[in-house]
Structure 1
Amino acid sequence: MTVTKECLSAPVKPRDFGFFIDGAWHHGREMYERSSPSHNQSVTRIACCTTQDLNAAVAAARIAFDQGNWAQQPGAERAEVLSRTATLLRERKDEIAYWEVLENGKPLSQAKGEVDHAIACFETAAGAARLLHGSTFNTLGPSLFGMVLREPIGVVGLITPWNFPFMILCERLPFILASGCTVVVKPAEVTSATTLLMADILAEGGLPKGVYNVVTGSGSVIGQGMAEHPDIDMLSFTGSTKVGRSCIKASAESNLKKLGLELGGKNPIIVFADSNLDDAADAVAFGVSFNTGQCCVSTSRLIVDQSVADDFEQRVSEKMAKIRVGNPFDPETQIGAITTDAQYKVILDYIDKGKAEGAVLLCGGHQIMRERGRYIAPTLFTHVTPDMAIARDEIFGPVLSSFRFKTVEEAIELANDTVYGLAASVWTQDISKAFRVTRRVKAGRFWVNTIMSGGPETPIGGFRQSGWGREAGLAGVEEYTQLKTVHIDTDKRSHWIAS
């Protein structure tokens, strides 16, 4: 395990952030102080908003939507705002990445790559704003004409997680805006800075006031309040399946708001003996270690052909041992710190469970002790059985469980042996085998001889307990619309009641 050199570059004192409602900044009466997970140093102070603040934000979003200054703009004009925002994001890329690193702990190079992806999301959404359309029916008879209109759903509540604070915001926000909706965002309490920076960027890009609002604070107060709020028309939540269920319950007990949910995953990567084993090993090590495994599409279950399993697991182990772990501001760092103390403990507890339940530890499995920060070595367990906790639970850390199969059917069965269905990957040189697996494994995203690739042009989302709905692409804009059917009769009415 290579631990990179120290090159600390955190601010001397924490930066204070307000919250953003109706085009204006407001000061918090109480503040939450965030300590960098890599530096053990306070970096931001974030407002702890109240229910009253949330109500004000929703009211501003409602007024902005009902007045139509955004919803009724031509798609071309909304596209211009989104395009200008993309340009501004490019200009402020280093600043956004800097604050993302400080609050999250991910490497600076990765954070910059995520801002590039965010820019692509805004550019894609700009095009989608111009392409969004309904449909017509000219087959209803000589005098009856039908139209299906696609209208923005209204006020959207957007709750984003701490693992990819800016990227997940931008995989949703520009598509929501492209549809004509207004938004109230609640970022994760520990990673709110970049969502707040977005407020000034959107305002400079020409977004009308009230269209984008940010309320910061705890999930129990602000998040729950958004799920229950009667004047929020749709809620988009990214996070755990457990909290997703609470969103469903809150929606059912309030206004039956539409929900978009991207939830947990326990994602398989299937490796056949005929694949390029060196490429596959690198992909496996990357897939479970990227973002320190704090990734909903992390490939945390390796399902490998028994005939090459020993050799392949050794290749993966050697790859994982070479991953450069350390200070996120060091350009050589590949993975940084675990984002929160709570998650750090969860991961270590699962490693202990794996050992206790009889899995064989091949690589990692320990803390990396440094003067500052929370680090865990990428970990590989073999001889894992389906009943083990590390096999079934989403760990959300760099912990890989390895299973073995003899036949294609057995590989598919192992891949589907989970309540989730978010993502999957298969490695083989046999295209027929690849298609067979792709069609049978239950997952919303699938990669063949690649991992975590693709762009904002294509939709993302999960099957089963991994969620509802789709984000990104044209489908991601349509997700935030509703259909209205209109019938127009061009002929004189034939009276039902005789005169």
Structure 2
Amino acid sequence: MDHATAFAAVPETVREFGFFIDGTWRDTAGRDTLLRSSPGYGRDVSRVTLCTRADLDEAVAAARAAFKRRVWSGIGGAERAAVLLRVARAIRARVEELAFWETLETGKPISQSRAEINDAAGHFEYCAGQAQSLSGETFNNHGDDMFGVVTREPVGVVGLINPWNFPFIVLAERLPYILASGNSVVVKPSEMTSATTLMCADILKESGLPDGVYNVVTGTGPEVGQAIAEHRDIDMVSFTGSTRTGEAVLKASAANFKKASLELGGKNPQIVFADADLEDAADGVAFGLCFNAGQCCVSGSRLVVEESVAERFKALVVEKLSKVKLGDCLDPETQLGAIVSEQHCDKILGYVDLGRQEGADVVCGGERVSVSGGRFVAPTLLAGVRNDMRVAREEIFGPVLCLMTFRTVEEALEIANDSPYGLAASIWTKDIDKALRVMRGVQAGRTWVNTTIAGGPGQPLGGFKQSGIGREGGRMGVEEYTEVKSVHIAIGKRTPWVK
């Protein structure tokens, strides 16, 4: 079987995974396991270990020992950079394998998985540069008797809790930044989509990362995730997921006042003005809705359109959505993937029914589609939505779009900002003054103008309000995982206080 054929079809046997501590693989050894059925095919593809708190304690101890030995925290930025670059090359060399397993476990289209794996390699390449440029400050303004220095030091042991919807790219938006600044890490991927995070362990080890610096403990959120947030020997926790769970993580992290970085939920507006390129905007709205089947924290799920073009724009969006290719997740032409679980599928369709009850019109979609034995939801547009409806305020996390209208710039901003969330927003207009005005006024940590869900590793990401705290990515993403130390150095003989 050649390389291409090996990753072209659902495997006949289930792949078994242990967990990874201190540079070695650990067997399941009598622990409970979770069998993962592929959302796109309805067939079992992987089995992961459900680790215990004792396993987490062992992983944290290994990470702490590695940090104290300074095998990573104590080496130079150029040495860290060399390892991160080797990791990037190894990821690119294994892109087909990693993308294949990402698609099997998440249900996203293979084309999206490939793009995400390649983007992940880009984060490691970017952080190789950051590892060498991380610096502090000097203060030569204290006079002849004093010199000031500000240093940035690795925070220590980081607990990283990642979601099921973007296992590898979310890992890459955090892990290389954690490593660039010299920390050790214990990762808990979602129990539903653990494969690529575990596969990354071999890549890191083969690339020269010292044992104990990267550890993976698989398991459930209530068992392992909660234990990470509470653990007194973890110095910082990074969590990506729902706002409700993020609140619990933040409360638990107070056990030892650990630092926390949280990227949480969103109910993100797509603001479309009459002077926009409506064809481009409709295409962007369709992409923003269907990307990862709407199971995306920055999904553009609220469509806020200027009233004078609302009907025309609604027709353009419906036309775009009718052409979205839904089907076999391993087909490169497929654009809309599967829904992660039966429970989540029911939740999405329940919101569609709720929208009807609240008075919204289902313009298109709103039903389940069966393809290749998997579970899919057709892209759905709800019109006649008011911003006080639950479907407009709560995160549906599926391909369901809520249409509202406005007449003025002020009203557009009022609707966009009338939300407990502030994660992302997209603005569509060809008027640069208007674009800048709305960009400044919208409450969103990531804002796009005439595009959506775009960008690279150089800029930070994070949210306002209940969409999180802290920033990942970019230079700020490296600094997020450091502690700042302010040093004052006396020069010469001290002037006596006691005479």
Band the TM-score falls in, shorter-chain normalisation: over 0.9
Alignment of 1:31-110 (within 5 A): 31-110=33-112
8 Å CA contact 1:8, 1:39 repeated in 2: no
Alignment of 1:241-252 (within 5 A): 241-252=243-254
Structure 1, residues 333-374: CA drift from partner, whole Å, max 9, x if none? Answer: 101110112211110110110111110111111111335010
Aligned residue number for residue 185 of structure 1:
187
CA distance in 1, matches of 2:176, 2:302: 33
Aligned residue number for residue 364 of structure 2:
363
Name the CA shift for 1:352/1:8 in 2 (closer, same or farther; >3 Å).
farther
Alignment of 1:385-400 (within 5 A): 385-400=386-401
Residues 1:421 and 2:414 are matched in the alignment = no
Give the AA of the match of 1:209: D
* Deviation larger for 203-212 or 28-37: 28-37
Aligned residue number for residue 26 of structure 1:
26
Give the AA of the match of 2:318: S
Deviation at 1:32, TM superposition (A): 1.1
Structure 1, residues 172-231: CA drift from partner, whole Å, max 9, x if none? Answer: 000000000000000000000000000000001100000000000110100000000000
Give the AA of the match of 2:134: L
Runs of 4+ in 1 over 3 A off after TM superposition: none
8 Å CA contact 1:272, 1:428 repeated in 2: yes
Aligned residue number for residue 353 of structure 2:
352
CA distance in 1, matches of 2:272, 2:467: 23
Residues 1:466 and 2:492 are matched in the alignment = no
Alignment of 1:96-495 (within 5 A): 96-252=98-254, 254-370=255-371, 372-495=373-496
Give the AA of the match of 1:14: V
* Deviation larger for 242-251 or 365-374: 365-374
CA distance in 2, matches of 1:121, 1:370: 34
Deviation at 1:8, TM superposition (A): 7.5
Alignment: residue pair count = 491
CA distance in 2, matches of 1:90, 1:182: 24
8 Å CA contact 2:40, 2:372 repeated in 1: no
Give the AA of the match of 1:23: G
CA distance in 1, matches of 2:164, 2:341: 9
Secondary structure of residue in 2 paired with 1:298: coil
CA distance in 2, matches of 1:163, 1:260: 18
CA distance in 1, matches of 2:495, 2:400: 71
CA distance in 2, matches of 1:124, 1:464: 29
CA distance in 2, matches of 1:420, 1:15: 38
CA distance in 1, matches of 2:284, 2:124: 28
Deviation at 1:141, TM superposition (A): 1.2
Give the AA of the match of 1:106: K
Aligned residue number for residue 9 of structure 1:
9
Secondary structure of residue in 2 paired with 1:200: helix
Deviation at 1:9, TM superposition (A): 1.2
Deviation at 1:241, TM superposition (A): 0.3
Structure 1, residues 227-267: CA drift from partner, whole Å, max 9, x if none? Answer: 00000000000000000100111012x10110000000000
Deviation at 1:386, TM superposition (A): 1.4
8 Å CA contact 1:268, 1:299 repeated in 2: yes
8 Å CA contact 2:327, 2:372 repeated in 1: no
CA distance in 1, matches of 2:356, 2:315: 19
CA distance in 2, matches of 1:122, 1:288: 28
Deviation at 1:454, TM superposition (A): 0.8
Deviation at 1:327, TM superposition (A): 1.2
Secondary structure of residue in 2 paired with 1:487: strand
Give the AA of the match of 1:41: R
Secondary structure of residue in 2 paired with 1:147: strand
CA distance in 2, matches of 1:41, 1:13: 10
Percent identity (aligned): 58
CA RMSD of aligned residues (A): 0.9
Give the AA of the match of 2:23: G
8 Å CA contact 1:228, 1:250 repeated in 2: yes
Secondary structure of residue in 2 paired with 1:324: coil
Give the AA of the match of 1:11: P
8 Å CA contact 2:239, 2:246 repeated in 1: yes
Aligned residue number for residue 3 of structure 1:
none
Deviation at 1:13, TM superposition (A): 0.8
Unaligned regions of 5+ residues in structure 2, if any?
A: 1-6
Secondary structure of residue in 1 paired with 2:422: coil
8 Å CA contact 1:8, 1:327 repeated in 2: no
CA distance in 2, matches of 1:427, 1:272: 6
Secondary structure of residue in 2 paired with 1:362: strand
CA distance in 2, matches of 1:194, 1:362: 38
CA distance in 1, matches of 2:57, 2:122: 32
8 Å CA contact 1:105, 1:328 repeated in 2: yes
Structure 1, residues 459-495: CA drift from partner, whole Å, max 9, x if none? Answer: 1110110000011111100000010111111120111
CA distance in 2, matches of 1:467, 1:262: 5
CA distance in 2, matches of 1:96, 1:410: 45
Deviation at 1:40, TM superposition (A): 1.0
